[in-house]
Structure 1
Amino acid sequence: MGQVMAPSPRPALRALPLSAVDLAVAAAVYEFVSPAIGVLLGVVGVLVLGVVVVRLYRVASQRVPARH
């Protein structure tokens, strides 16, 4: 039997710049356009960042061998 390969963290890592850009845009929109829209964009950015962190945690925890 072969070993099961853990999923790659690359898709989650590629999403990190998206979250950073979203938070920067949210700050600019909050400052120059509308505070309500800026807050909504900020919430979306935080949710995206949370999903990325959870996926990275799952990939990292699958790569660590179990201790007995």
Structure 2
Amino acid sequence: MITLNETIKVTPNYSKRTFTIRTYIDGKLNNKYRTYTMSQEEFNHEEMNTENDWKQFLKSDDYYRV
């Protein structure tokens, strides 16, 4: 059985109030996404997300693939 090590790296863009989400599998970039512009309140809330929170976020439609 092969186990894939998936990780997520999230980078905030404070001036545009967006996040860039990169997913890696075994250390190699798999996909890159960007959130739509958020309100300041929503941006501040999402800034506290954990990796599992971002995995759940990727199940929504609030982003696009870059």
Q: If you compute each CA radius of gyration, which structure gives the higher value, 1 or 2? A: 1
TM-score, length of structure 1 as denominator length:
0.30
Q: Which structure's residues are more often helix, by fraction?
A: 1
